[in-house]
Amino acid sequence: MNIGYTEAVRLALAGEEQGFSYLYENTYKTKYYLALQYMKNQEAAEDVLQDAYIRAFSKLDTLQDPENFSAWLGQIVANTAKNALVKKNPILFTDVEEQTDMADYTEKIEDDDIDGQPELSYTREETRTLVHELIDSLSEEQRMCILMFHIEDISIKDIAQTLGCSENTVKSRLNYGRKNLKTKAEELQKKGYKLYSLAPLPLLLLLLRTEENSMLAEGSIQKCGQEIAKSVFSQMEQSGQVADGTKGASESTGNGQSQPIAGAKEAAGTAAKTGFLATTAGKITIAVISVCVAGGAIFGISQLVGKNNSQDKKPAVQREDKKTDENESQNTENEPVTVKDSDYPELIEGSLTKDELEYVLANGPKQLTADGLSDSEYQTILIDLCASDKDGKYITYLGTDANYRWGYDVKAINRFFRVFTDYQFTEDNDSDSDYGNDVKDDTIWFAPATPEYKLSASITDASYLDDQMQIHYVYVKDSYEEGKTTTNKLATLERSEDGKFRIVTIEDDTSTIADTDTDNTDTSDNTGDTSSIGTVYKGVLKSIQNNDPGYEFTIAGGSNDYEYFLCDMNGDGIKELIVGAVFPENVFNAYDVRVFTINQGASGAEAKALSGEFATLTLYIPSDGNGLYTLDSMSRGTGKTDICRVTMDGDTVTKGYTPEISFIMGDGTDKEFHASNPAVQWKSISDLTGLDE
């Protein structure tokens, strides 16, 4: 549709759906990206944009020049963003002019035209990093002035009016902003970034355009645009701005789309008697089906604002088209429904995509039972979620405070937590201490810790039947010291009150163990060879999983996350089975360790549990072959590390408490120790390949 802004505004004022569709579709992409730059927070940007559209549509009759709709909307977006930022910091945007020589100010600099500039050859990650580096060098006021002036092409006079300051203040902020960009660009060049000999301001403008195009190509802006449209029209209905006669203004067709039905325009006309706002809201009901063409999916009014009677609402995951419903009703065997990649947002709590759910499965709970999680486990998950997202793909990093705590977008974090727990980080449950968790507004501050591992998860298959879903996935932990371990996991999900699925249990997928046990029944013999020892240790692992008497781990506090490895601790030629129950210890994962060995009797190989349970962060294989080394303590402040020895004496395992080796992380002794004494290679209890050694 190519009708132009003047015609689109005329149509919208007349209640025609084409008008609203054109106005939204031709502006939301750029306005959303700019809102992101204003707010530096996805959810805050979405809130700003939806409020801006509601204001714009309600005041459309005040627009004097329809061709200026985009710029007019841009001012509304900027003003809404400014108000949101002021709520966080009331002293922002006060009319205090920065001292600068206005003689060196020019309203347009010669090199700010980006159309003739070269294409930038940066990766997606490099572009994101450079945008953040440059944008973060500006104050809130400078950033808004530069974006409004150079991106939105809003005049200095209008910027001053929008921000509530003088024109000289705007000029001063633009001038200082350019200087700050120049300083930051010089720093980046010293770090080795290639800046293509561009002046800092044109570089930023090109980077912004490049990042916006990348986001459009990957569909993230379109997806957010769809969600914003939902919120806009839902709010209008809930606030009573949509006239009662228009709530039924669309009906579902056989292909799952919505079309306006007879009487809709008459209802909108009736609403006109109550004033322009009600008229607009009523007409928007008619226009919704065209407005929300985002990402190729057409959403009718029933999808956007729900059914008229909230008690009759069906869960979102049950909104299937008629063809699908008919096929499922004919499925007499009631077979599970396979989850397609595009289905996840409609099915999963928090509207998580498949990629986002894999992020949670990687960095969330390693095991989950009906008992839930402890506070220390929540803290570990918080750290893993934030530290693993170094590029800010999922959670926006907001810098550090005076106590060197990290700041992150708490709304994004809570969205991920909702998929496996009711626990949310709020000001009501934080510590309010200088170094503990502290929630303020939309930010959570907490003490930093950098995990010495990388986590990932890959969903292999997912399906649901009625109110239960099962997701099989591969969990990988890649540790610098311990190497890479791979575990097959199973997550079970159940529908919550809103009809979407939430994780209720996470466990190791033990089908491998079960199958192996079945295949090896009656294979043990009296020779004491490797195969019989392996079979005995398989029985130990199964007893541990079953929580059989004599196989408890008392330090770990009920953990069901077990890992193991084999090592000949006393040099007698028989490898011991060392099993660790994983549990959180402050900001790290620790192991509650027990050791099992083999006794060769008249009836063959038998397992024997050794006394001497102990806890450790990391174990190493000593080069002298005597026992194990354990990381006994590590200072997060100085990096000082103490290594003690664990020895096996008869039927007892003893952990020494006098350090045999000490070093500072990163020094020569550290490197020499790790080169000579490799970290153990833990394997998940569901992976029996470690018993073949």
- pLDDT (tens digit per residue) in 249-260: 333 333 333 333
The amino acid occupying position 348 is I
Rounded to 5 degrees, what angle do the CA atoms 327, 317, 418 make? Answer: 150
SS3 at position 606: strand
Q: Residue 627, class by beta-carbon neighbours within 10 Å (0-12 exposed, 13-18 middle, 19+ buried)? A: buried
Q: Range with the lowest mean pLDDT among 212-221, 543-552, 588-597?
A: 212-221
| pLDDT tops 60 at residue 511 | no
Determine the number of helices (DSSP H) and then strands (DSSP E) in the chain: 22, 24
Would you say 21 and 290 are in contact if contact means Cβ atoms under 8 Å apart?
A: yes
Alpha carbon distance 501, 350 (integer Å) = 9
Residue 224: pLDDT band (50, 70, 90) is confident
pLDDT reported for residue 169 = 87
Q: What is the pLDDT of residues 77-91, one digit of tens each?
A: 988 988 888 776 665
Alpha carbon distance 535, 225 (integer Å) = 57
Average pLDDT over residues 427-446: 83
Alpha carbon distance 282, 242 (integer Å) = 5
SS3 at position 544: helix
Max mean pLDDT among 214-223, 233-242, 361-370, 474-483 falls in 361-370
How far the first Cα of the chain sits from its last, in Å, is: 68
Average pLDDT over residues 1-15: 81
Q: HEC string of 474-531?
A: EEEEEECCCEEEEEEEEEEEEECCCCCEEEEEEEECCHHHHHHHHHCCCCCCCCCCHH
Cα-based torsion angle of the residue sequence 175, 180, 181, 183 in order, rounded to the nearest 10 degrees: 130
SS3 at position 203: helix
CA torsion sign, 261 to 263 to 269 to 270?
A: negative
CA torsion sign, 422 to 428 to 433 to 439?
A: positive
Nearest CA-CA partner of 448 in 520, 495, 390:
390
Residue 261: pLDDT band (50, 70, 90) is very low
Residue reference for tokens 């402040």: 637
Alpha carbon distance 658, 681 (integer Å) = 25
Would you say 462 and 472 are in contact if contact means Cβ atoms under 8 Å apart?
A: yes
pLDDT above 70 as % of the chain: 72
Containing 578, the helix (H) or strand (E) segment is strand 576-585
Residue 568: pLDDT band (50, 70, 90) is very high
pLDDT reported for residue 359 = 95
Alpha carbon distance 9, 7 (integer Å) = 5
Structure tokens of 506?
């996470």
Does 319 or 233 have the greater pLDDT score? Answer: 233
Q: Can you give the pTM of this predicted structure?
A: 0.37
SS3 at position 646: strand
Average pLDDT over residues 590-595: 93
How much of the chain is helix, strand and coil, in % rounded to 5? 45, 20, 35
| pLDDT tops 80 at residue 321 | no
Does 293 or 186 have the greater pLDDT score? Answer: 186
| pLDDT tops 70 at residue 557 | yes
Based on C-alpha coordinates, what's the Rg of the chain? 31
| pLDDT tops 60 at residue 288 | no
pLDDT reported for residue 278 = 37
**Mean pLDDT over the full length of the chain:** 75
| pLDDT tops 90 at residue 175 | no
